[in-house]
Copies of this chain bind each other. A is one copy, B any other.
Amino acid sequence: MNTLLKECRHNPVLWLLAFVPVVFAAAKLKPEAHTLLFVLSVLAVVPLAALLSHATESVASRTGDAVGGLLNATLGNLTELVIALTALRAGQYMLVKASIAGAMVTNTLFMLGASFLLGGLKHHLQEYNRVSARVQAGLLFLATIALLVPSAVSQADSAVDAAFTQKLSVGLAVLLIVAYGLGMLFSLKTHRELFTSAKDGEVGETPWPIGLALGTLACVTVLVALVSEIFVESVQKAAEAFGMTQAFVGFIVVALVGGAAEMASAFSGARKNRLDLSVGIALGSASQIALFVAPVLVLLSYVMGPSPMDLQFWPGAVVMMLIATLTASLVTNSGRSAWFVGVLLLTVYLIFAMTLYLLPPRAQ
């Protein structure tokens, strides 16, 4: 408890934890106040995500480098995974897919762009490890291709049916998880020296004792799951009330909420001129969503969902994922950054957000 209080003093976002009991109370007392529940659940998820992220890092730092890296890589997007699983169980596949696509686009464009901008406003020119950035961008590019193939084929070919898309999606999910595992083997084991500079940046905060960390991990995951349930139930009605399309909510709001904790780390890294850390978090998180979270959701949909989920996305989402990945590849190729590079990335993000916001509701 003492540690928690000390954390709160360090990290003001944790005061938002007060909204966790509030959202549960509100859900009991006013189950039809969708807009209120939506806002409260968003406010409650942000500090939970921050706790989850810190607990994961603490466990990771206590278990040695290889296991720790593995843990960080698999649990780093636990918030996104839990929210998506809740939507999956509710059969809201449209929301699941929008949040996968949105997390990829938000991490590559918004998180990376804002890091470059915030860092660039303080430091004239910033350098980072381009080898590591290239491997991450390569993984991301691969994942994007895998995710767009089912959509492209069924777009191009009217004779293609649901059974085909289904089989293809399962095959792709397995391929992506294998590629992700090999990528971890590469960056954590066989070629770890190429990724060093990104490593030592991460020892920013003091880790928690292992017991507290594990306990927090378990409790907070349950809390996130419960809050997500309220969030998923209220999101559709609330979106209508705000005049937002469901695509906008899944793509932009869920992605920003789920990634809030990582964004805080990425931005503070950029301000401290440790851009390796920021680029690593942004691209790493995006490729983790694409190569681990998305395929796991496809496979789990056979066990947990009302019906199997495929990887066929709305064509506009495919275009946005592809452009986001290409932009990130082109931008991180040089290993140098200035504020304007951030502006370029953020502008592309704004273009996408505006398009989704203006899109007529039926047109999702």
B351→A145 contact, CB < 8 A: yes
Contact partner of A359 (CB less than 8 A), chosen from B164, B183, B190, B348, is B164
Contact partner of A161 (CB less than 8 A), chosen from B124, B150, B178, B360, is B360
Question: Which residues of the other chain, B, contact A333 by a CB distance below 8 angstroms?
Answer: 333
B171→A363 contact, CB < 8 A: no
A347→B175 contact, CB < 8 A: yes
A332 to B281, CA, bound (A): 25
A175→B145 contact, CB < 8 A: no
Q: Could you tell me the dominant secondary structure of chain A's interface residues?
A: helix
Stretch in contact with the other chain, from A12-20, A27-35, A135-143, A221-229:
A135-143
Q: Which of A345-361 contact B (CB under 8 A)?
A: 347-348, 350-352, 354-355, 358-360
Q: Do A359 and B153 form a contact, CB below 8 Å, given A139-B344, A179-B343, A347-B179? A: yes
B327→A160 contact, CB < 8 A: no
Task: Indicate how many identical chains form the complex.
Answer: 3
A138→B354 contact, CB < 8 A: no
Question: Which residues of the other chain, B, contact A201 by a CB distance below 8 angstroms?
Answer: none
What are the interface flags for A129-169 relative to B under an 8 Å C-beta threshold, 1 for contact and 0 otherwise?
Answer: 00000110011011001100110110011111100100110
A186→B149 contact, CB < 8 A: no
Question: Which residues of the other chain, B, contact A186 by a CB distance below 8 angstroms?
Answer: 338-340, 343
A272 part of interface (Cβ distance < 8 Å): no
A67 part of interface (Cβ distance < 8 Å): no
Report the minimum CB–CB distance from A79 to chain B (whole Å). 27
A156 to B364, CA, bound (A): 10
Besides the known contacts A138-B344, A141-B330, A178-B347, 7 further A-B residue pairs in the complex with CB atoms under 8 A apart: A124-B191, A125-B191, A141-B327, A142-B348, A153-B316, A164-B358, A186-B343
- Residue with the greatest number of chain B CB neighbours at <10 A, chosen from A139, A167, A179, A339: A179
A11 part of interface (Cβ distance < 8 Å): no
A182→B340 contact, CB < 8 A: yes
A159→B344 contact, CB < 8 A: no
Q: Looking across the interface, which residue of chain B has its beta carbon closest to that of A150?
A: B355
Q: Looking across the interface, which residue of chain B has its beta carbon closest to that of A163?
A: B360
A355→B168 contact, CB < 8 A: yes
Q: Do A344 and B160 form a contact, CB below 8 Å, given A153-B359, A186-B339, A338-B186? A: no
- Residue with the greatest number of chain B CB neighbours at <10 A, chosen from A139, A329, A344: A344
Task: Give 18 pairs: A residue, B residue, CB < 8 Å, sorted on A.
Answer: A138-B330, A145-B351, A149-B355, A150-B355, A152-B315, A153-B355, A156-B319, A157-B315, A158-B363, A159-B360, A161-B360, A164-B358, A168-B354, A171-B354, A179-B344, A179-B347, A182-B340, A183-B340
